[in-house]
Structure 1
Amino acid sequence: MELKPLLHPLITKPWMDTVSQIKLISFDLDETLWPSTEVLRKAEEVQLQWLEKKAPRLTLVHNIESLKEHRQLVRKVYPEIAYNLTAVRMISLSQLLKEFGYSLALAKEAINIFLEARNQITPYPDVIPVLEYLIKNYTLASITNGNAEVSQTSLKNYFQISLTPAIAGTAKPDPDMFYQILKKVRIKPYQAIHIGDHPTYDIVAAQQVGMHAIWINRNEMMWPEELPPPNSMINNLYELEQWL
């Protein structure tokens, strides 16, 4: 698939001047540092298997898909917490457990089962070698809309700061996700680079607060023509290491 040409400032003198000012590099997680489809599928299966033992009346009626549909309904009914996937899961399971006559305490246990499996990630091959290099020179942060906890994954030793919707009280593309990270490190937006796979939630959102934004395009996707371009595009983190 042919990619739309993108400006490549990383190899120009202005970009080299910019690099010398960078203090923080933040990363999205799912599809940026690891593939998430299989991880999420397995986590849902592990949780359902646990529920089959602990709440069999519920699982006689519900499967993975119908549980997902119920969570979507919860997000519509409670828009104020829709950004927090773990909170949505808690409310959804609590409602269903109550409906089928089970203790609400099972909801928290079920979520812990899910999250434990959710954090069993396998990073892309380029991730650990490049993080090993970057951590020597930069503060590294993670900013995710998901409910993976970096501190519970195999990448726990590489990130000084990790921000999730449950911690931040919001989610990307809300600029406050990025402002919170910048405030923690006490730096200006131009001193930070954000790297992510989502054109709107990662790239445009980071640029709008004044951060540099690099689109990691692992799957040869087309950049949306209606959006302003990223500062640059990479296919893997080795390219980022070379440029820096």
Structure 2
Amino acid sequence: MHFYRILQPFRAITLDLDNTLYNNHPIINQAESESISFLQKYHPALLTLQQKDYNRTRTLLKIVSPNIPHNANYLRWESLRITLLNAGLTKNLAESAADSATDIVIYWRNKINISFKTHNILSALSSKWPLIAITNGNANPNSCGLHKYFYDILRAGVDGRAKPHTDMYQLASKRLGLPCKNILHVGDDLNTDIKGAIFAGMQSCWINRYNHYINDYVTINKKFLPNFKISTLVSLTKFL
């Protein structure tokens, strides 16, 4: 645990999900692989379709339609639809395939294996503080048994704009009945979780699961330093 600034007493915790409570990289890689495999078999025009084709469309769509990324499921669906139209499919075929491919991704990306240790940590934390999940992704905590630890679960697109916009942080504050300064946000992403929490006036904890360097981030603006850094979730139990 490394402190960058003074931590004031907090009365609730908000938590990111992906790559904060579990390693999301192999999960999403599997989901995307299954989706592309389905599409390659769906139509002869898609036989050589690759993940990079979808990624290229997704990147361009985020640029030309900046509001779409606030809903992860719709961003994926629309990116797939455009990719399939560009490959020569008719409107009906493209939309039907995008529906099925999106469903496949949602199915596989919720095959999350939560360790007993993480369950125990969240159980201990939720016994002392109300917890709210704040996620830009589309994981469903109900599918992996995480929902029972949370007072509420806020999702980008449904409950406001994606982090680092402050919508979900402010909504969490409202639902908890606490000012943002009395809430600690924990997340793995400096540019979304930490920056968003600071914009909202929350205190913040950066969980650096993958040994990233903070130097380039804080060189841009030192006001975006988190209150403290940890490398594993269990470190939070030191405050119990």
Q: What interval of TM-score do these two structures reach, taking the shorter chain for normalisation?
A: 0.7 to 0.9
Partner of 2:89: 100
Residue in structure 2 matching 1:40, options 28, 45, 55: 28
Query: Cα gap change, 1:176/1:216 in structure 2, threshold over 3 Å: closer, same or farther?
Result: same
Query: Cα gap change, 1:217/1:42 in structure 2, threshold over 3 Å: closer, same or farther?
Result: same
The one-letter code of the counterpart of 1:52 is Q
Task: Spell out the pairing of 1:227-238 with structure 2 (5 A cutoff).
Answer: 227-228=222-223, 229-238=225-234
Partner of 1:121: 112
CA RMSD of aligned residues (A): 2.3
CA distance in 2, matches of 1:182, 1:239: 24
For this pair of structures, how many residues does the alignment match? 231
CA distance in 1, matches of 2:140, 2:117: 20
CA contact (8 A) 1:93 1:107 kept: yes
CA contact (8 A) 1:121 1:154 kept: no
CA distance in 2, matches of 1:108, 1:28: 27
CA distance in 1, matches of 2:189, 2:117: 19
Gaps spanning 5+ residues in structure 2: where?
none
Greater displacement, 62-71 / 88-97: 88-97
Partner of 1:180: 171
* Residue 231 of structure 1, CA deviation: 1.3
Say yes or no: does 1:166 pair with 2:157: yes
Identity of aligned residues (%): 29
Residue in structure 1 matching 2:190, options 170, 177, 199: 199
Partner of 1:152: 143
Moved over 4 A (4+): none
* Residue 30 of structure 1, CA deviation: 1.7
CA distance in 2, matches of 1:120, 1:198: 22
CA distance in 2, matches of 1:195, 1:213: 6
For each residue in 1:52-78, what CA deviation from the matched residue of structure 2 results, as whole angstroms up to 9, or x when unmatched? Answer: 33x222422411121111222222232
Gaps spanning 5+ residues in structure 1: where?
none
Query: Cα gap change, 1:119/1:145 in structure 2, threshold over 3 Å: closer, same or farther?
Result: same
